[in-house]
Amino acid sequence: MLKQIEGSHGVAEAVALARPEVICAYPISPQTHIVEALGEMVKTGALSPCEFINVESEFAAMSVAIGASAAGARTYTATASQGLLFMVEAVYNAAGLGLPIVMTVANRAIGAPINIWNDHTDAMSQRDCGWIQLFAETNQEALDLHIQAFRLAEELSLPVMVCMDGFILTHAYERMDVPEQALVDAYLPPYEPRQVLDPREPVSIGAMVGPEAFTEVRYLAHAKQMSAIERIPQLAQEFRAVFGRDSGGLVRGYRLEDAETVVVALGSVLGTIKDTVDELRDRGVKIGVLGITSFRPFPLAAVRAALAGAKRFVVLEKSLAVGIGGIVATNVRLALDGLALKGYTIVAGLGGRAITRASLHRVFGEAIADRLEAVHFLDLQRERVARVLEREEAVRRSGPIAEGILKDLGTVASRIG
């Protein structure tokens, strides 16, 4: 059914259609609307049977989810940013225990300085935790990915994180196709846990494992996640068969035919990039786009295949690995091992900084001309940072960098548009 609704509501409806049995909620912007909507559905009885638990922290949210999942319930939670970091220990644990929890991460920056706006730093911080990480490009895809996520998680007995850009997607009202329950039921069978806490067949879950078997345990975790590389496209295919829509998969190319330059990105920014690329194509520039949907497992082969024919790639990412540069870019480079492509990293949209087509035109142009620096910060206000750096050079003092900038700018100026 087509509905004009907020992204968060769309996702909430998708989650509800997946018939989760336990939902743990702890508020953090921009995730709040999703769990609020679900809470209401549970209260009205629209979503039943389901336990909606208002926990006291994200750490508890994930911990409650672990318990519920281990006891055989289909379990869902959502978080973002500080919340994701607050639950990290449990996030790793859920993966280690192989519990098929599905979690929405409404991507948001991480402080300090505290910032509620969108970037991918939160999800990227968890790239090695053992969860499958899927990034939605649109609200429709966010909705669809949640349905696929439960299926994938439960088939592999691995947790899946569905990442959607905070505010940009979560708070955007769009027309969305919310599928019928019967279709979802047809696609997503009831949860059959691989291992379950049950007095009828007691097991001890969560042993202490020493050096004699730890490597094997980790290898198996890796192998299991890698097996998703095969399964994710199949599930997307099946999804299309049932719902008649393309959603999910490992990567999605756009105008890649004969492209010399390929822009690689994740999430909603792909829309702006595609618009920019369309304009460049109109001018005859051989440029295309590769959207990565599955960041974990990272589809090395698919990325390599998509980029192999190009001359250069530009990774535009909403995250920064402080001290080295791009995170996605580093992963992409690994896919291209041995190929002679020039590569550029554009760090963009941090903490909600708008990514405009104008800026993209400028940086893509520089990239095509091979004039772009290897790691470029989009729309960086160079004078501002230069002042700080200068002073830093002169007076080595302690204290947070942010504080230094604020001192220079005054608090009003810190409200960056």
Binding site for another protein (CB under 8 A): 21-22, 24, 49-51, 53-57, 59-60, 63-73, 75, 89-90, 93, 96-98, 157, 194-199, 201-210, 212-213, 216-217, 220
How many C-alpha atoms does 407 have within 13 Å on its Cβ side? 10
Specify the residue, 173 or 214, whose C-beta has the smaller distance to another protein.
214
Specify the residue, 221 or 336, whose C-beta has the smaller distance to another protein.
221
Specify the residue, 202 or 410, whose C-beta has the smaller distance to another protein.
202
Specify the residue, 212 or 258, whose C-beta has the smaller distance to another protein.
212
Q: Taking the complex as a whole, how short is the minimal distance between the CB of residue 68 and another protein, in angstroms?
A: 4
Q: Taking the complex as a whole, how short is the minimal distance between the CB of residue 50 and another protein, in angstroms?
A: 6
Whole-number Å distance between alpha carbons of 328 and 126: 13
Whole-number Å distance between alpha carbons of 134 and 239: 15
Q: Taking the complex as a whole, how short is the minimal distance between the CB of residue 93 and another protein, in angstroms?
A: 5
Specify the residue, 9 or 74, whose C-beta has the smaller distance to another protein.
74
Q: Taking the complex as a whole, how short is the minimal distance between the CB of residue 214 and another protein, in angstroms?
A: 8
Q: Taking the complex as a whole, how short is the minimal distance between the CB of residue 368 and another protein, in angstroms?
A: 49
The contacts of residue 210 (CB under 8 Å, 6+ apart) are none
Task: State how beta strands 132-135 and 160-165 pair.
Answer: parallel
Specify the residue, 208 or 412, whose C-beta has the smaller distance to another protein.
208
Q: Give the CA radius of gyration of the chain.
A: 22
Token pair for 208: 């202490």
- CB neighbours (10 Å) of residue 34? 32
Specify the residue, 197 or 285, whose C-beta has the smaller distance to another protein.
197
Specify the residue, 96 or 309, whose C-beta has the smaller distance to another protein.
96
- Phi, psi angles (nearest 5°) of residue 172: -90, 135
Token pair for 137: 């490009």
- Decide: helix, strand or coil at residue 358: helix
Q: Which of 266, 295, 80 is nearest to 166 (CA)?
A: 80
Q: Taking the complex as a whole, how short is the minimal distance between the CB of residue 77 and another protein, in angstroms?
A: 10
Structural contact between residues 31 and 83, judged by C-beta atoms closer than 8 angstroms: yes
Q: Taking the complex as a whole, how short is the minimal distance between the CB of residue 196 and another protein, in angstroms?
A: 7
Q: Taking the complex as a whole, how short is the minimal distance between the CB of residue 152 and another protein, in angstroms?
A: 17
Residues linked to residue 264 through DSSP beta bridges, in sequence order: 290, 315
223: left (phi over 0), alpha (psi -120 to 50) or beta: alpha
Specify the residue, 96 or 404, whose C-beta has the smaller distance to another protein.
96
Q: Taking the complex as a whole, how short is the minimal distance between the CB of residue 189 and another protein, in angstroms?
A: 16
Specify the residue, 157 or 359, whose C-beta has the smaller distance to another protein.
157
Q: Taking the complex as a whole, how short is the minimal distance between the CB of residue 75 and another protein, in angstroms?
A: 7
Whole-number Å distance between alpha carbons of 62 and 77: 7
User: For 151-154, which contacts have Cβ atoms below 8 Å and span 24 or more sequence positions?
Assistant: 151/187, 151/188, 151/189, 151/235, 152/228, 152/231, 152/232, 152/235, 153/100, 153/101, 153/102, 154/74, 154/100, 154/191, 154/192, 154/193
Separation in Å, CA 340 to CA 325, 328, 334, 366: 20, 18, 12, 19
